[in-house]
A and B are shown apart, each in its own frame.
Chain A
Amino acid sequence: MNSLAAIPYNTLVVAVAVAVVGFASGVVGCFGVLRRRALAGDAAAHATLAGVVAAFVVTGRRDLPTLLVGAFVAAMASLGCLVVIRRFTRTRDDAATALVLSVSFGIGIVLLSGLSARGIPGAGGLEQFLLGHTAALTATDAITLAVVSAAVVLVVWAGLKEATLVSFDPAFAAATGWPVAVIDYALVALVAAMVVVGLPAAGAVLVTALVVIPPVAARQWTDRVPTMLILAGVIGLVAAVGGVAASAAVPRLATGPTIVLVASGLFAVSFFCAPERGWFARRRGV
């Protein structure tokens, strides 16, 4: 008997699913953080609820791929609104993000309560997308999540040069003829895609943590973008697997929130202990 067989099947499935999602979220989240758009992902995450409910109403189906498509459309629509508000009004970035976040989440809640008031059979449980259902991920879910995560990571890797340039020096990029707006929107769209994929693993409210905390933690350790990407991915992966292990060991410990707590712990370690930017290192420097 090898050591893998000793791990219960469900733990294994969930661990694989969230490890892949954790890694990809960490990688993709880096550009959101570098571009100071970390909260755009949060806005997208909150918009997904409306998309999930709408997808259920339109198709009458409740399987993961259908709901994720709905969630993705809603996330992209909310980011589109964000771009439009930024470009055509004088609203500042943070206010625009807050506006899109709260309005889109409000739409989701209204749709959901409208649905439950009509008593449409099978609607029960859609609100689970708010909290996520990490512990109940099945093998089919895991495959869906792995495929999308892998695709997102590949796209980021392929466009690494462009993304880095736009993140650090948009003015130079524009002057040399790069379609900055398009690349910018593509980056945010990747974050949105990752947020949508992370929904079943952490829920709409906590999924932002997966695309924000690992990059912020990784930033403490390095100034090189490729290193930061890989490090953020690894931190995301470790947090995910650590959260799963804790939740499997202790009864009545919800898996999604535990993952976020482990990620926060890793951030705290990075904040204090990183060699140059860490708190201790800077204290010594003074």
Chain B
Amino acid sequence: MLLSIQKMSFGVPKSVWVSGLWAGVVAVTGCVDAASGVDRAAPRVLATTTIVADLVRHVAGDRVTVDCLMGPGIDPHGYKATPRDADRLARADLVVASGLHLEGKLGELLEKLAARTRVVAVAEALPRDRLLEIAPGLYDPHVWFDPQLWSLCAPVVAEALAEIDPAGATLFRERARDHASRLVRLDEELRGRIAAIPAERRVLVTAHDAFRYFGRAFSIEVVGVQGTSTESEAGLADINRLVDLIVARRLPAVFVETSVSDRNVQALQEGAQARGQKVQLGGRLYSDSLGGPGSDGETLEAVLRANVAAIVAGLAGAP
């Protein structure tokens, strides 16, 4: 219904077809607040991950309803969409994804969906020369761990929102600018805290390679047991190599992630311990998902602060 109205409106001035669109929505859903006369049918945006939802919420304010497909603690690499998800995706006015193959199997569904619904993959809009290339044409998707880089995604969201809610365009752009500058300020703040770690111990050993942008942004060497995706199994040679590294650099802590199994990291810890290097578990880092309500990682800013606090606490102390 919505689509047909949009198609009919070609050539008509934008403001006219937008009000026509609203009239259509109101006519179809009957969603008018009787008391105020203002329609409550705010456009519905569906974000794929909690991190993207956080970005969209910051840019959109309360002009649109923002939902999230994958809740806290879910690993997007291996996520399989249910029929209910396909339904939610099809009913959204705008779908905002992270992109660069972060969503794994869901990516195919999103591509098909793009023929019918607006789908924006924010990280795909980033300049390629600022992305980390894993293999030819394949880029590391974990861009939100570089706050400066992630700040470039805010205007992308603003433009996408402006298309479904043109009346809010100015507001969206303004909020996007505000949010981007907050991210840049956060970047400086975190840089200062990382400085507390002695240079030779700035090595982050984690379960999988989600932190390469983080490492690049904050000058920390990052080593993951598994590859960039969580779906492959680690080999013994990889485990042995990391144990060697931990012992050689006298690292006091290795880290586990909230959305990935910690078995590999436990094996590392045990291997290093057997060679006389006491290694602590340096707290759970948030990686591909924000924390749930009431956790210390409800927003991306909180997640970055919590991660940096855990890393500094783990690596800055005496070995």
> What interface size band does chain B fall in?
35 or more
Chain A CB within 8 A of B195 CB: no
A124 to B260, CA, bound (A): 5
**Chain B window 59-74, contacts with chain A (Cβ cutoff 8 Å), 1 for yes, 0 for no:** 0000000000011111
The reply to whether B239 and A136 form a contact with Cβ atoms under 8 Å apart is: yes
Which residues on the B side are within 8 Å of A134 (C-beta)? Answer: 233, 236
Chain A CB within 8 A of B238 CB: yes
Chain B CB within 8 A of A183 CB: no
**Chain B window 266-278, contacts with chain A (Cβ cutoff 8 Å), 1 for yes, 0 for no:** 1100110011000
Binds A, one of B22-30, B78-86, B301-309: B78-86
A-B contact count (CB 8 A): 124
Q: In the complex where A10-B243, A124-B73, A124-B75 touch, is A135 in contact with B80 (Cβ < 8 A)?
A: no
Q: Which one of A123, A247, A249 lies within 8 Å of B73 (CB-CB)? A: A123
Which residues on the A side are within 8 Å of B238 (C-beta)? Answer: 135, 251-252
Chain A, residue nearest B273 (CB): A9
**Chain A window 120-133, contacts with chain B (Cβ cutoff 8 Å), 1 for yes, 0 for no:** 11111111100111
Which residues on the A side are within 8 Å of B237 (C-beta)? Answer: 247-253
Q: How far is the CB of A19 from chain B (nearest CB, A)?
A: 14
**Chain A window 90-132, contacts with chain B (Cβ cutoff 8 Å), 1 for yes, 0 for no:** 0000000000000000000000010011111111111110011
Q: Which of B70, B238, B264 lies at the interface centre, i.e. has the most chain A CB atoms within 10 A of its CB? A: B238
The reply to whether B266 and A135 form a contact with Cβ atoms under 8 Å apart is: no
Q: How far is the CB of B259 from chain A (nearest CB, A)?
A: 5
A120 to B73, CA, bound (A): 7
Q: Which of A13, A14, A124, A136 lies at the interface centre, i.e. has the most chain B CB atoms within 10 A of its CB? A: A136
The reply to whether B236 and A244 form a contact with Cβ atoms under 8 Å apart is: yes
Chain B, residue nearest A244 (CB): B236
Which residues on the A side are within 8 Å of B235 (C-beta)? Answer: 135, 247-248, 250-255, 258
The reply to whether A133 and B233 form a contact with Cβ atoms under 8 Å apart is: yes
The reply to whether A139 and B270 form a contact with Cβ atoms under 8 Å apart is: yes
User: What are 17 sample pairs from A and B whose C-beta atoms fall under 8 A apart?
Assistant: A8-B240, A8-B243, A8-B271, A9-B271, A10-B240, A10-B267, A11-B236, A14-B236, A116-B75, A117-B74, A119-B73, A121-B258, A124-B230, A125-B261, A125-B263, A126-B261, A251-B237
- Beyond the given A118-B71, A126-B261, A252-B237, could you list 14 further A-B residue pairs with CB under 8 A, ordered by the A residue number? A9-B270, A9-B271, A14-B236, A119-B70, A119-B71, A121-B258, A123-B73, A124-B230, A125-B261, A131-B233, A136-B239, A138-B267, A139-B270, A253-B237
Which residues on the A side are within 8 Å of B233 (C-beta)? Answer: 128, 131-135, 203, 254-257
Question: Which 7 pairs of residues, A with B, have the shortest CB-CB distance?
Answer: A125-B261, A119-B71, A9-B274, A254-B233, A136-B267, A248-B236, A10-B271
